Every structure is written in structure tokens, then in C-alpha cells.
Amino acid sequence: MDRARKRLVASLALAGLALAALPAAAHAVPLSPEAGQSPNADDSTTAYWVLLAIAAVIVVAVNAALIVAAVRFRARRGREPARVRAGRRIQLRAAGPLAVVAAAVFVFGIVMTTRVSDVEPSGREGLEASSSRTAQLDLSLPSGGAEPLRILASGQQWLWRYEYPDGTFSYYELVVPVDTTVQLQLESTDVVHRWWIPELGGKFDAVPGRGNQTWFRADEQGTYEGQSAAFSGTGYAAMRARVRAVPVPEYEAWLDQQSNDIQDAQDAVQQRVQELAGAEAAAAGGAQE
């Protein structure tokens, strides 16, 4: 092993060490995506870190090679370029490791996709234990146990509307019980919208005429902010969404309250309509006389 090769190995080892320390350092440096609060978000974040490390190795290696070459082999008096061409096997020897990396990334990608699409059952604090699997469109739900909480999220310019299993609905803010698996059916009434709460997993399109779905399980109470991520017209920048995860009793109380509020509002509207109709009829009767 000659000197140049030793130096190369040493620098590669150093680069490797630096990369091993990268995830730890990156939490200090703001290179991490928003902290996951749902199992699928956690898995996506893991995949992100692994791929970021691979990408960093590639970028560092390429740039180091370019810089070393540019500095070391600058034209100088008396330097004769070596007119070297590739030997026979060298391309295969270079392609081999690349193919291994590509295959590994592909397999890793499929494994992680399956994990993210596996709907996990609700936890013990949750509304009702449930489980199943899905790859968004092909979500596969956990076998046995109770169904997850199914909520219909419908995008419209420029607001999300959520419909709960009992027919109650809300706008902008989705209230869910904590530690409960929520299966979100996505649909759109006008243009393409993209559901996204960064802390609760990936983003998925709501396309008119095409159903789509995703899931999450908020592990901790709190308010999670997000924003639609598909351009949908003038009001797009204001198309925000919020998920509030609350304890089960609070969720049930909120649902009752919301249901009553809607009923009251509808009654009030109905009453007002009847009043107006009555007044109109009276006015019409008065006019006839």
C-alpha cells in the first residue's frame, strides 16, 4: 500500500467518523425535521437520517476527490499528464459497490415504506384498542381488535373540513383522542390539496374523485400545526390545519358539545327560515287584501 492510498484510507476513515457523529451533532444544528409525535412520523424520520448519512458520504467523497485533484494536479512547469485510459475490469469494479448501495437503498426503502404504512393499534390510553395496515391508498389495517377511529378530511379552497364517525363535523381544527389510531380518509371537493401535519407523518393528496387515506397516532397531548402543501390558488398560503390531541374524556365531551352546538345552530337557522317564510306569507297575504 503506497502513501497516496494510505492517505486516502485515512481520510475516508475520518469522514466516516465525522458522519457517525453527524446525527448527534445535527440535533444541535437544525438539520432535523420536525420531531415526530406519531409512529409513522418516527419511521420516516429514521429513514431520513439513514439517507442523509448516505447522501453526505456521497457529497463529501465527490467534493473531496474534486478538490484534491484540482489542487494536486494543477498544471506546473515540467508536469507531463499521464495519458492513461481505463483498464478492462475497472468499470465493473467501480460499478459493483454502486450497485450494492443502490440495492441496499431500494430494499431499505421498501422496508421503511411498509413500516410507515403499517397502521399500529391504539395505545392503552386510547379511545379503543385497534390495529391494521395501509400504504396510504393501500392502507392495511391491523387484524382483529377494534377499528381505528375513522375521520373524513375533506379539502376545499382553502380550508379542511373534518367529519367524525357520528356525523359531527368541524373546520380547520381536528380534535382527536390521544394515543388513538386515527385513519384519515382524504377527499377534495374542488382542486388538489395535500394534507400535512409535519409532526404526524407524511403528506398525502386529496384529489377530487379519488379517495386517499393516511393515518397517525398522536402519542402525546398537544396541538400540532400544519399546512396544505399543494398549490391550490390564491388562498393557498393561508390553508393551514391544526390537530389537537386531548385525553379521551375531553374528546368525548368536546364531541358532545360540538354536536349540540351544531344542532343548536341548525335549529336557529331552521327557526329563522320559518320566521322569514311566515313573514313572507303574511306580507303576501297582506298584499292580496
Site for other proteins in 51-80 (CB under 8 A): 51-52, 54-56, 58-59, 62-63, 65-66, 69-70, 73-76, 79-80
Closest distance to other proteins from the beta carbon of 66 (Å): 5
On whether the CB atoms of residues 202 and 39 are closer than 8 A, the answer is: no
Q: DSSP per residue over 128-147, as a string? A: S-EEEEETGGGEEEEEEEBP
Among 142, 155, 177, 226, binds other proteins (CB under 8 A): 226
Our CB check for other proteins shows the closer of 119 and 127 to be 119
Number of Cβ atoms within 10 Å of the Cβ of 23: 14
* Residue carrying the nine cell digits 473531496: 64
Residues 96-155 close enough to bind other proteins by CB under 8 A: 98-99, 101-102, 105-106, 108-110, 112-113, 115-117, 135-138
- Site stretch for other proteins (CB under 8 A), options 1-9, 13-21, 246-254, 263-271: 1-9
Closest distance to other proteins from the beta carbon of 278 (Å): 38
- Site stretch for other proteins (CB under 8 A), options 15-23, 143-151, 232-240, 246-254: 232-240
Residues 16-35 close enough to bind other proteins by CB under 8 A: 30-34
Rounded to 5 degrees, what angle do the CA atoms 156, 158, 160 make? Answer: 60
- Measured distance CA(227)–CA(212) in Å, rounded: 18
Instruction: Count how many Cα atoms sit within 13 Å of the Cα of residue 175 in the half-sphere of its side chain.
Output: 18
Torsion of CA 92, 94, 95, 100, to 10 degrees: 120
Among 12, 146, 207, 255, binds other proteins (CB under 8 A): 207
Q: DSSP character for 166?
A: T
Residue 192 contacts other proteins per CB under 8 A: yes
Our CB check for other proteins shows the closer of 54 and 248 to be 54
- Measured distance CA(248)–CA(71) in Å, rounded: 65
Among 150, 221, 236, 248, binds other proteins (CB under 8 A): 236
Closest distance to other proteins from the beta carbon of 120 (Å): 15
Our CB check for other proteins shows the closer of 85 and 124 to be 85
- Measured distance CA(207)–CA(229) in Å, rounded: 13
